[in-house]
Every structure is written in structure tokens, then in C-alpha cells.
Amino acid sequence: MQTISQVSELREQVNSWRTRGQTIALVPTMGNLHAGHLALVARGIAEADRVIVSIFVNPIQFVAGEDYKDYPRTVGPDLDKLAGMDTDLVFLPEMDEIFPEGLREHTRVTVPALDQLHCGEFRPGHFTGVATIVVKLLNLVQPDVAIFGEKDYQQLLVIRRLVSDLAIPVRIIGFPIVREQDGLAMSSRNHYLSEDERKQAPLLYATLKAMADAIMDGGSDYKMLEDQAFRRLQQSGFRPEYVRVCDAGNLGEPRNSDVVILAAAWLGKTRMIDNIAVQHYD
């Protein structure tokens, strides 16, 4: 497994693989890897001849007051895990490789409408930061496929939209949420949870699952289901930001049988997100 920090070296290696007719998969991460990330890598291995994993904690997707400085950086253990997966290359750039002109001068990429909804309401500018770094990584690597987890469903739709709108020749693959045995969605931030909070955390998924079951049983009063779920989380010690039933295609008001339930809630100092897609027929 190669570890490369320079853009010039990355491009040289990618060009070498390309001249041999090999396909490339990219798995972008911010490190502190867990089993969910490794599942993305495994999917990349199945999809392409070569797999590149990027590790870069992107400052412009953190909004004011968030945990950029404290975000866990575990490069050594991450590299060990990736070596065990037969990863071909890890791109581990320094800040000036990604933002050579500095953060203020760097071009930004926005995805109108989608980046203002739901998490965008509570994290203004977050999805612009995500879109910008994803476009940069896609342009640097020019992969055939890129793999993203579905835990951040809104992020996945933002990425699909920018790839379509900007005609970037890459196939985006969404990978299902990897969960702990008790249902908690795996996340690099779960280590912020205290012992008691960790016991409570699976209630977020259980609440969304109950909503999904109600919809599958014919429930159509989405506002009532949202309000009930919001109160349940509040009464259980969460500080929910939102619980919403949305159109699975554009995250707007549900207009057909395919919906997704999105939620974001704080438990202690940990911000948690989760979702469940539901297909039902009236």
C-alpha cells in the first residue's frame, strides 16, 4: 500500500494505472476509520482494479462552533486498517496541497436548494464545504467510481447533483448504513458519547424505525409522526434539530411512494444523524 501526500505524486501514480487500462475507485474519508468506512473500501475493491482512499479533515465543511480542532485524527491506526484491506493507495495531503492559495481565496462549489434544507438549515455553509472538497478530490483522482455512505443521505444527494450538473464523468455509489448490533449507525463521532449516552443512542434509530413501520402500515399523517418522534426524542434526553419525512429524490415534500425519514439530534455533545428510506404504496 502506497501513502502519498503530494498531488503531483498522486497524479503520476493514477496516470500509470490508467496507461495500463486499470479502473480506479475513490473512497473519500476524514479518517478515524471504523467498520463502515472499511465496508466502503471493500465495495471499491469489488468495483475497480485499484482503490484510493483519501484522508483529509476538511476545515471548510465545519461551521462555527463545531469540532474541527477536536475531530479525531488517528492516522496510524487508519493506515493499519487500510493495509489490512489491500488498499492500493492512501492520499494523505497536507492543508496547503488542497488549499494552496489559502481557505479564503479558494473557489467554492454550491448546490442550490439542496444545500439549504434540513442539515443545511442548522449548518449553514456545510454542504458548500463538502461539495468543494468532493469536486477537488474527483478532479485530482478522476476515478471511474466513488463510494459514499448513505448515513448522510442529504450529502449523498448533494454529491449526485453536483456530479450531474457539472458533467463529472464518475459513477457515484451509495453504500447502505453500517450499524452496531443495537442499531446505532456507525460514526466517527460516536466516541464522544459517554457510557450512559451510548446506551441511549440507539433510540434515535428505533424512533425512525417506528415511524417507518407506521408508514408501511398505512400512516399518511407525516406531520403527526414527525411531531411524535420529535417529542419522544426530547423526552428521552436528546436535543432534536429535526425529524422529517421527505421525498427520497429531492428531500422536498413527499409526493410519491418513495420517502426517506431524516433526523438530526444532539445527545450530550454529540450531534447524531440517521435516516431510513421507505417505499410504500397507497
Active-site amino acid positions: 37
Range of the domain at 22: 2-175
Q: Are residues 26 and 86 in the same domain?
A: yes
Q: Read off the pLDDT of residues 111-155 as tens digits, 9 standing for 90 and up.
A: 999 999 999 999 999 999 999 999 999 999 999 999 999 999 999
Share of the chain above pLDDT 70, in %: 99
Q: Are residues 83 and 169 in the same domain?
A: yes
Domain endpoint, select from 175, 198, 222: 175
Instruction: Quote the CA–CA distance of 132 and 144 in Å, as a whole number.
Output: 19
- Cell numbers found for residue 263: 433526523
> Residue 167 — left, alpha, or beta (φ > 0 → left; ψ -120 to 50 → alpha)?
left
Q: How many domains does the chain have?
A: 2
Q: Read off the pLDDT of residues 261-272 as tens digits, 9 standing for 90 and up.
A: 999 999 999 999
For residue 194, what are the CA distances in angstroms to 190, 199, 220, 269?
9, 9, 37, 9
Q: How confident is the model at residue 279 (pLDDT cuts 50, 70, 90)?
A: confident
Question: What is the predicted pLDDT for the residue at 256?
Answer: 77
Q: Are residues 11 and 113 in the same domain?
A: yes
Q: Are residues 208 and 246 in the same domain?
A: yes
Question: Considering only CA atoms, which of 237, 225, 221 is closest in space to residue 276?
Answer: 225
